[in-house]
């Protein structure tokens, strides 16, 4: 393939759903795989639905996701402008071309007249009335009115729309890169509005014109646009343009597989559906994002890649560069992809484990500062190394590893009840004295001293190990006891043992 050009074209009507990011990702991977361009275009022809802040949100979300824009909104390019509202003057000439070639016509029907038509059709037994090849000849349009009457209405400023003149009883065929051949009869299609009297095109017209003028070669978009594809095929034909290849991506489904994933599902089940946090300009409502919940960019993208695509191997963890190398549109499935929040957490856990301990330590230090706790990078790095196997997020290390930075103020009740015996305080006191004599307070030296103590007392690990752990950390489980002791140091270890003996007897 050569000169590949793909576009991601969201509407700035609110935050970008994770399904939208997946569409952007697949476009990005396809472009990068074939040495092409990834373009961002904003389809804002419907100004009534425009939401302040949505454009900046989309750009920020794509940036956080690591999807670099080659051309488009925020970066520019030779085929701009890249907001449809700024391209208003481009569309009229192509609408006029379609009217002149008799592929479109002007319609003056009022909302009331359209309602009356639908009512008549329903009474005649038509379940889904449409403005089409049957009904249009009984309506007020340039096909039924004289040229003089049409001009009179236009001169009078009467509201109108321009509709496509859908051919009657014709099969529209096109090959989808994912779904194979798609065949639709035009009798099942209506005369869609292409242009409104306010001078703005509808999505369908603007989409086709922009894709043509921006030399888009492949349109990779969500399944929800599949019903519009036959209309778009006919528009390309009417305008005499070569059509790009289509690929319609499968839906992202709810965790139970029943229906399309929505924000309500995330709210109900406790997971984000947006890449980054969104604050509604209307009511101030905040919707959580993957970034703010502590997900790694790579884990988020890795998870999205597998919602509809598979590499054909057992590999599950991919860097963005590896995804580019492995991605193929013919390995994208037709069936809806079920979202699994547990699998998403698993992806994040893998990325946390792979991350350099020092980098994790830096992130841990930032979170600890928010809790009013200061530490150094060396300590934070050691703690990160010990806790990362059990954590999903860096924030888990703050909650689960607070004992590294603060002495416990309570002790695991189950361990105390089961393991703390009458002589436990005495044994801990003797062990404490042994620990005080360890000059090089390392994990290895402490473990050796502990084993020697058990040997002399003829005790098993279970007689002292669990109560030593609970004395030092307050927990019944966790990383190695002696690793914890080395990090908190001799003075703090001794102090904690003394306090546990005093509290628990």
Per DSSP, helices labelled H in 193-228 are 203-213
Q: Does residue 260 have an active-site annotation?
A: no
Q: Please, which residues bridge with residue 195 across strands?
A: 162, 201
Which tokens go with 367?
């979170």
| Given 263, 343, 382, 490, the catalytic residue | 263
Angle at 215 between CA 210 and CA 221, to 5 degrees: 65
Please name the residues in contact with 5: beta carbons below 8 A apart, sequence gap of 6 or more. 31, 36, 37, 39, 214, 215, 216, 217, 218
Which tokens go with 287?
């919707």
Q: At which residue do the structure tokens 């007689």 appear?
A: 463
3-class SS string, 48-79: HHCCCCHHHHHHHHHHHCCCCCCEECCCECCC
Q: DSSP letter for 242, please.
A: P
Buried/exposed 435-453: b ≥16 CB within 10 Å, e otherwise: beeeeebeeeebbebbeeb
Q: DSSP letter for 181, please.
A: E
Q: DSSP letter for 201, please.
A: B
Q: At which residue do the structure tokens 């009457």 appear?
A: 149
The strand pair at 161-164 and 245-249 is best described as unpaired
DSSP helix/strand/coil, 342: helix
What CA–CA distance (Å, rounded) separates 204 from 141? 20
- If residue 38 lies in a helix (H) or strand (E), which one and from where to where? strand 37-40
Angle at 340 between CA 334 and CA 344, to 5 degrees: 115
* Catalytic residue set: 263
């Amino acid at each position: 393939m050569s000169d590949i050009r793909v576009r991601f074209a969201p509407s700035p009507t609110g935050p970008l759903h994770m399904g939208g990011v997946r569409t952007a990702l697949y476009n990005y991977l396809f472009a990068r795989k074939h040495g092409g361009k990834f373009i961002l275009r904003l389809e804002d022809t419907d100004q009534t639905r425009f939401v302040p802040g949505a454009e900046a949100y989309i750009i920020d979300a794509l940036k956080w996701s690591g999807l670099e824009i080659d051309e488009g909104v925020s970066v520019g390019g030779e085929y701009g402008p890249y907001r449809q509202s700024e391209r208003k003057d481009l569309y009229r000439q192509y609408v006029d071309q379609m009217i002149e070639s008799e592929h479109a016509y002007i319609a003056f029907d009022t909302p009331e007249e359209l309602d009356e038509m639908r009512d008549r059709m329903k009474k005649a037994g038509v379940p889904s009335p449409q403005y089409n090849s049957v009904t249009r000849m009984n309506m007020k349009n340039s096909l039924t009115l004289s040229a003089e009457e049409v001009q009179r209405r236009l001169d009078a400023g009467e509201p109108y729309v321009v509709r496509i003149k859908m051919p009657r009883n014709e099969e529209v065929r096109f090959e989808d890169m994912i779904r194979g051949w798609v065949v639709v009869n035009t009798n099942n299609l209506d005369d869609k509005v292409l242009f409104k009297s306010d001078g703005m095109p509808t999505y369908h017209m603007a989409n086709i014109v922009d894709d043509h003028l921006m030399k888009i070669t492949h349109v990779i978009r969500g399944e929800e646009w599949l019903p519009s594809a036959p209309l778009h095929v006919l528009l390309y034909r009417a305008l005499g343009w070569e059509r790009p290849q289509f690929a319609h991506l499968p839906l992202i489904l709810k965790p139970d597989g029943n229906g399309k994933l929505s924000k309500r599902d995330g709210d109900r089940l406790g997971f984000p559906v947006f890449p980054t946090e969104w604050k509604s300009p209307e009511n101030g409502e905040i919707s959580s994002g993957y970034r703010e919940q502590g997900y790694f960019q790579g884990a988020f993208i890795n998870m999205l890649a597998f919602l509809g695509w598979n590499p054909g191997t057992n590999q599950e963890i991919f860097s963005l560069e590896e995804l580019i190398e492995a991605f193929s549109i013919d390995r994208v499935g037709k069936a809806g992809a079920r979202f699994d929040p547990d699998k998403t957490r698993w992806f994040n856990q893998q990325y946390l484990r792979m991350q350099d301990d020092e980098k994790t330590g830096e992130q841990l230090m930032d979170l600890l500062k928010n809790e009013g706790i200061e530490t150094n990078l060396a300590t934070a790095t050691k703690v990160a190394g010990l806790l990362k196997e059990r954590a999903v997020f860096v924030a888990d290390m703050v909650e689960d590893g607070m004992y590294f930075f603060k002495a416990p103020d309570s002790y695991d009740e189950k361990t105390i009840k089961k393991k703390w015996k009458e002589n436990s305080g005495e044994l801990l006191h003797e062990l404490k004295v042994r620990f005080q004599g360890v000059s090089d307070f390392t994990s290895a030296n402490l473990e050796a001293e502990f084993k020697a103590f058990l040997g002399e007392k003829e005790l098993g690990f279970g007689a002292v190990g669990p109560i030593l752990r609970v004395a030092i950390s307050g927990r019944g489980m966790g990383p190695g006891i002696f690793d914890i002791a080395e990090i908190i140091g001799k003075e703090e270890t001794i102090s904690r043992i003394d306090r546990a003996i005093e509290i628990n007897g």
